[in-house]
Structure 1
Amino acid sequence: MTAFFQSLGLSYEWAWTVATVAAIVIVSLLVMFSVAMVIYVDRKVLGAIMLRRGPNVVGPFGLLQSFADGLKVFLQETIIPTAANKGIFLLAPIITFTVALAAWAVIPFWDGGVIADINVGLLYILAISSMGVYGVVMSGWASNSKYPFFSAMRASAQMISYEVSIGFVLVCVVLFAGTFNLSGIVNAQQGFGFGLINAYAVHPLLFPMWVVFFISALAETARAPFDLTEAESELVAGYQTEYSSMSFALFWLGEYANILLMCSLNTLLFWGGWLPPIDWAPLYLVPGIIWFLLKTFAFFLMFSWIWATVPRYRYDQLMRLGWKVFLPMSLLFVAVTSGYLMATGHFDKVSTADMPAPATEIVEANPAQPTAVRGQS
C-alpha cells in the first residue's frame, strides 16, 4: 500500500503515513460492517432454533435490520441520569469501543494482510483486551445506580478470572510455535497435524487447551451461558442499563467486535488461520482471506448455537469453573507441554534461523529507515 501511494508522487514518509491511516480506516469499517452482519446472523440463528422467523422485514430477507436499528439509536436522544458523573459516564462506552477496535491492528487476515505485524502481537492482544474492563467498571460506577454497579463488579471479576486461564493457554501455543507473532504462529501450523492438517488443535496436548480457550472466550465476552452481567431477573441490561442512543450502541459495537476478535483468535491460534484445513496444493488456490473468514464465521455460529441451547450458569458456578477447573488445568498443561517439548527436542529444532519469516506488513514498520537498511532487516 505504501508503494501505491509512492507511485502517486508522495514521498516515502507521507506515503507510509497515508497508507497507515487508510489501512486503519479500512479495517475499522470492515469490522463495523461485520458487526452489523453478525448481529443479523445471531438473530436469525436464534430464530431458527426457537422456530420463529427472526428479522425478515427491513430489506431483502431482513438484511438491513441491523442498519435500521443503528439509524434508530443514532436519532434517539442521549439521556444522562441527573446524579451520574457526566464525564466518566460518556467516556466509558468510548473506551470500550476504541479498545475493541484497537485489538484488530495485529490480526492477520491473510499472509501479509495485517496493519502491524509486530513480533509481540499476542502480548499486544492480551494487553489491549485487558483494558476493556475499564470501560465496564467506569460505566457501572458513573451511572450512580445500584444495579449497574453490581453488574460492573460481576463483569470485571468475570473478565479478569478468565483472562488468567486464557494467558496460560496461550503460553502452550507459544511454546509450540516459538514466537508471539500471530503470522508466525499461523505459518508454524502448516502441515502440523500428521504432516497433512494445518491446525494445532489436532495435537493431544493442544486440543484440550483449545476447548478451555473456546469456553473462556465465551466467558470473556459475557456470552451465554456466562452472560451473568445481564441477568434479566435482577440486572436488566447490566452496566448498560442507564445508557441510551449512541452511547448504548457503542457498547454493543464493542461487545460484538470483541466476540469476532475471539472467533478470529480461535482460528489463528488453533485452526490454521488463513491456511486451508488440509495441506494440499489445490486448496491453496483459494485466497487465504476466504479460509480465514469461513473459519471465523463457523466459530461465530458455534457462539450463537450455544446461546440458544445452553442454560445460564449461576455466578458461583462461573467463578468455580474459572478458578478451580480452568486455572489448575491450564497450569498443568503448561508444565506437561514444556516437558513434552523438551523431551522431544523441539526447542533444539526451533532456532532463530528456523523461525517462520514474518509476513510482509500492509504498511512497512519504520518510514524513517533508509531503503538499503530496510531491505537488510
Structure 2
Amino acid sequence: MKILSINEWLLSFMPAGAASITEMVLIALIYLTVFAVLGLYLVLLERKVAAWFQLRLGPNRVGYKGMFQTLADALKLVSKELTGTVKADKFLYNLAPYFVIITALMALSVFPFTENLQAFDINIGLFFLIAISSIGVIGILLGGWGSNNKFALIGAMRSGVQTISYELSVGLSLLTMVILTGSLQLSEIIEVQKNGWLIVQGHIPAMIAFMIYMISGTAETNRAPFDMVEAESELGAGYHTEYSGMKFAYFFLAEFINMFIIAAIATTVFFGGWLSPFGITESIPFMGIFWFLAKTFVLVFLMMWFRWTFPRLRVDQLLTLEWKYLLPINLVNLVLMAVIVWLNITIQF
C-alpha cells in the first residue's frame, strides 16, 4: 500500500494553488500548537527543576503531581483584565509583545527535527536564526519605552546593552563552526556530522566555541545569572512591569521558547541534531525527533542549572565578562579553527 504525502493527498482533490495555501495553514497551526505546548511544558520543567535543586516538591496540586499547573496558570492569564498605564504609548505598548512572540515562532521554523521534518530549509539557515533572534530585543525596547514607566525603561535599556553585547559572542562561536562545516544550511551541517559530532571533529576550538555559546546564549535570553533586565529586587518585573494578562504571558512564554531555541541551535551545530550517536536513526521511525529533543532538553536542563546555581551578576561584571574575556577568546578561537581547517586536521568516529 502506497502512503501519500500531505502534498499529494491535497493535490488529489484541489488545485495546486489552493493545496499550497492549505499546506501553509496546516503547518502554521502545527507550529502554533507545538509553540504553546512546548512553552507550557518548559515552565513546568523549570518549576520542577527549581524545586529539585531547593529540596522541595514544587507544583503538586493541579493534576497528577502538578502536571496541569501551568495550564491552569495559562487559563488564569487568558481571563485576566488587560491593564496598562494612562500615559503609555498605546501603539508601541500593544505592538511590543508580538515582536517577541513572532520572532521566536519564526526561529522554530528552520530547525530540522528529522531528515524529512523541516518546515523551512534555506541555505542561510544559521544566518537566518542569528538575524531573527536579534529582532526580538526590539520588542523588549518597545515594551519598556511604550509603558512610560521608569523601571520598565531601565530594564529595556539594560536588555538592549546586554543583548547587543552577547550577540557578538553567539555569532562568532557559531561562525567558528561554520568555518569547520563550510555551510550555513542546517541540514548540511547535520549531514557533515554523520562522521562524528562537530564538537569532536573540531578539536579544542569547537569545545571552547560551545562553552562560549552556552554562556552567551544564556545571557541573550536574559536568564539568571544574567537577569539584570528583570532584577526583581531593583526593577520589579523589568520591561514587562506594566503588562498583564495575555500580553504578559507572551513575554513570559517567549523567554522559555528562546531558551529552547538556544539549546536547539547548539544541538544542531555541535551535537549532530537528529542523528543518533548509535547509528540507528534511519532504521527506526521517529527516533530522529527523539534524539533531537533528548539532546535539546539536556542543554535546557544545563541552562536551568545555571539559573539555580549562580548568583546574579552586577551590570559591570556582566559587560566585563563579554568585552574583556569572551570576545577576545572568541576571536583567537576563530583563528585557531581556521588553522585547523587549513591544515585539514579532523577527528572521526
- Under a length normalisation based on structure 2, what TM-score does the superposition of the two structures give? 0.93
Report the CA distance between 1:285 and its aligned residue.
3.0
Match of 1:341 in 2: 341
Rounded to whole Å, the distance in 2 between the matches of 1:254 and 1:328 is 30
Is the 8 Å Cα contact of residues 260 and 300 (structure 1) preserved in structure 2?
yes
Letter in 1 for 2:284: L
> 2:155 pairs with 127, 151, 155, which one?
151
2:316 maps to 316
1:241 and 2:241 are equivalent in the alignment:
yes
Q: How does 1:1-377 map to 2 (within 5 A)?
A: 1-7=6-12, 9-192=13-196, 198-201=197-200, 203-278=203-278, 280-281=279-280, 285=284, 287-344=287-344
- Deviation of 1:191 after TM superposition, in Å, equals 2.0
Q: 1:15 to 1:283 in 2, by over 3 A?
A: closer
- CA distance change for structure 1 residues 284 and 334 in 2, over 3 Å: closer, same or farther? farther
Name structure 2 gaps, 5 residues minimum.
Answer: 1-5
Quote how far apart the aligned CAs of 1:17 are. 2.1
- Whole-Å separation in 2 of the counterparts to 1:274 and 1:345: 25
Q: Give aligned-pair identity as a percent.
A: 37
Contact 1:24 1:105 (8 Å CA) reproduced: no
Matching residue's letter, 1:285: I
TM-score of the superposition, structure 1-length normalised? 0.87
Partners in 2 of 1:139 and 1:201 — Cα distance? 42
C-alpha contact (below 8 Å) 2:274/2:281 kept by paired residues = no
The one-letter amino acid paired with 1:329 is I
What is the distance in 1 between the residues matched to 2:195 and 2:79?
52
After TM superposition, give the deviation of residue 4 of structure 1 in Å: 2.7
State how far apart, in whole Å, the 2-side matches of 1:345 and 1:173 are: 14
1:264 is displaced (CA, Å) by 0.6
Q: Is the 8 A contact 2:144 2:152 kept in 1?
A: yes
Mapped to 2, the partners of 1:42 and 1:324 lie a distance apart of: 31
Whether the 8 Å contact between 1:32 and 1:257 is mirrored in structure 2 is: no
SS in structure 2 opposite 1:102? Answer: helix
Is the CA contact 2:198–2:206 (under 8 Å) kept in the aligned structure 1? no
Amino acid at match of 1:85: D
1:78–1:245 Cα contact (<8 Å) kept: yes
**Considering only aligned residues, what root-mean-square deviation do their CA atoms show, in Å?**
1.6
Q: Taking structure 1 as reference, are residues 284 and 228 closer, same or farther at Cα in structure 2, changes over 3 Å only? A: farther
Please tell me the residue identity of whatever aligns with 2:10. F
**Structure 1 residues 182 and 141, CA, compared in 2 at 3 Å: closer, same or farther?**
same
**Number of residue-to-residue matches in the alignment:** 339
1:284 to partner: Cα distance: 5.2
- CA 45–32 in structure 1, closer or farther in 2 if over 3 Å, else same: same
In structure 2, distance between residues paired with 1:75 and 1:215: 37
C-alpha displacement at 1:70, in angstroms?
0.5
SS of match in other structure, 2:311: coil
Q: CA deviation at 1:115?
A: 0.7
2: distance between equivalents of 1:67 and 1:282?
A: 33
Q: Equivalent residue of 1:15, what SS?
A: helix
- What is the alpha-carbon distance in structure 2 between the residues aligned to residue 310 and residue 3 of structure 1? 53
Query: CA separation in 2, counterparts of 1:139 and 1:123?
Result: 26
